[in-house]
């Protein structure tokens, strides 16, 4: 055991609604460990045994976390949990859920049967600066897409090339309608690049720190 490791703990990837029985997602967890659910009231944390250590920003580790959540969300509505949440035992997980129970219940109601989709409007490379009215452009996108989405959230512009960045929470049955609306906007604004991504876990619509009080710390 390296000095930074303190034995084995339980890593939580996300939360789903309890199905009343243990669900097994296969050996896809850290170190190829089995990923499965343990029930707490009407929720089921998706977990695997994992080293009790600090989960640093390592691409491989982040990919394990993300791919588990991707697999789980194929059939379940998920409440994402922050990367790196490993607990000493079940008791502490249940205590954490119990503390945040109301918030988790509210979050689940919001994301149930929905997925997150992302839209970015990007200024093409070497193109003259977008001379249209950015406010009108944003409004056009927002109004068109809001009609087929349950919730929307404008996000920060992390690049000078970005004109707009937004996430939408969309009911699973309305994904096709949402995609058609995006396609229409793409055709209308063919001088701009539209980046359409997803489905994502609803990272931007629930507090992913739902089980944590301190990022990356183990409990």
Interface contacts to other proteins, rule CB under 8 A: 56-57, 59, 120, 122, 125, 158-159, 161-162, 193, 195, 213-214, 216-219
Residues 15/44, Cβ–Cβ less than 8 Å: yes
User: Which residue, 127 or 133, is less far from other proteins as judged by CB?
Assistant: 127
User: Which residue, 80 or 84, is less far from other proteins as judged by CB?
Assistant: 84
5, 17, 36, 41, 125 from 10: Cα distances, Å: 13, 19, 11, 18, 46
Q: How far is the CB of 104 from other proteins (least distance, A)?
A: 20
Q: How far is the CB of 125 from other proteins (least distance, A)?
A: 6
Q: How far is the CB of 215 from other proteins (least distance, A)?
A: 8
User: Which residue, 199 or 216, is less far from other proteins as judged by CB?
Assistant: 216
Q: How far is the CB of 120 from other proteins (least distance, A)?
A: 7
User: Which residue, 114 or 120, is less far from other proteins as judged by CB?
Assistant: 120
């Amino acid at each position: 055991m390296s000095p930074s490791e303190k034995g084995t703990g339980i890593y939580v990837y996300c939360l789903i609604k309890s199905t009343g029985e243990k669900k097994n997602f296969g050996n896809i967890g850290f170190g190829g460990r089995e990923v499965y659910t343990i029930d707490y009231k009407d929720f089921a944390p998706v977990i695997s045994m994992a080293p009790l250590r600090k989960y640093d920003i390592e691409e491989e580790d982040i990919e394990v976390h993300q791919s588990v959540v991707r697999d789980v969300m194929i059939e379940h509505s998920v409440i994402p949990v922050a990367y790196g949440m490993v607990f000493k035992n079940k008791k502490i997980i249940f205590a954490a859920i119990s503390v945040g129970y109301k918030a988790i219940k509210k979050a689940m109601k919001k994301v149930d049967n929905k997925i997150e989709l992302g839209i970015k409007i990007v200024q093409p490379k070497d193109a003259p600066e977008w001379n249209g009215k950015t406010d009108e452009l944003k409004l056009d996108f927002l109004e068109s897409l809001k009609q087929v989405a349950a919730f929307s959230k404008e996000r920060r512009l992390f690049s000078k090339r970005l004109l707009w960045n937004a996430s939408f929470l969309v009911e699973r049955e309305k994904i096709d309608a949402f995609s058609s609306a995006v396609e229409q906007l793409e055709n209308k604004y063919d001088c701009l690049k539209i980046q359409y991504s997803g489905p994502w876990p609803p990272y931007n619509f629930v507090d992913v720190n739902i089980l944590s009080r301190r990022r990356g710390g183990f409990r």
